[in-house]
């Protein structure tokens, strides 16, 4: 198949750079390989990555297996969640008390917004 016939349907301005790119790389045997061209050999990069990842996962599994019995005997999850919930409740209470003061910046801002929309019309 001739590339000129294939590219005739597109405007020439769109194809100028594309055509130069194909012409420049057409001598490279790995560029746009044909169906009967031999496939490029894959090195050991993937194998090395998989081996290293497998080793990392095995070390992680061993670490967890050593520490899980300790964690199951001294569970801290529920206590930590309860402490966080108490701290959140205390912060909410303090924030509400600060914002609810008559001269707080929050109330002043809300008063300005409310008055700008619903206040008496100024003429």
Greater model confidence, 20 or 116: 116
Contact 99, 106 (CB under 8 A): yes
Greater model confidence, 64 or 9: 64
CA distance linking residue 57 with residue 62, whole number of Å: 9
- The predicted model scores a pTM of 0.35
CA distance linking residue 23 with residue 6, whole number of Å: 14
Q: What angle do CA 34, 38, 39 make, to 5 degrees?
A: 95
């Amino acid at each position: 198949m001739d590339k000129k016939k294939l590219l005739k349907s597109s405007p020439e301005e769109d194809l100028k750079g594309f055509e130069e790119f194909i012409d420049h790389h057409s001598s490279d045997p790995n560029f746009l390989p044909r169906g009967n061209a031999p496939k490029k050999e894959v090195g050991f990069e993937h194998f090395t990555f998989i081996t290293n990842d497998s080793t990392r996962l095995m070390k992680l599994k061993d670490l967890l297996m050593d520490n899980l019995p300790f964690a199951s005997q001294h569970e801290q999850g529920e206590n930590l969640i309860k402490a966080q919930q108490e701290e959140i409740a205390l912060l909410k209470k303090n924030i509400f008390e600060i914002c609810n003061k008559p001269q707080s910046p929050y109330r002043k801002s809300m008063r300005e917004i409310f008055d700008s929309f619903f206040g008496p019309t100024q003429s």
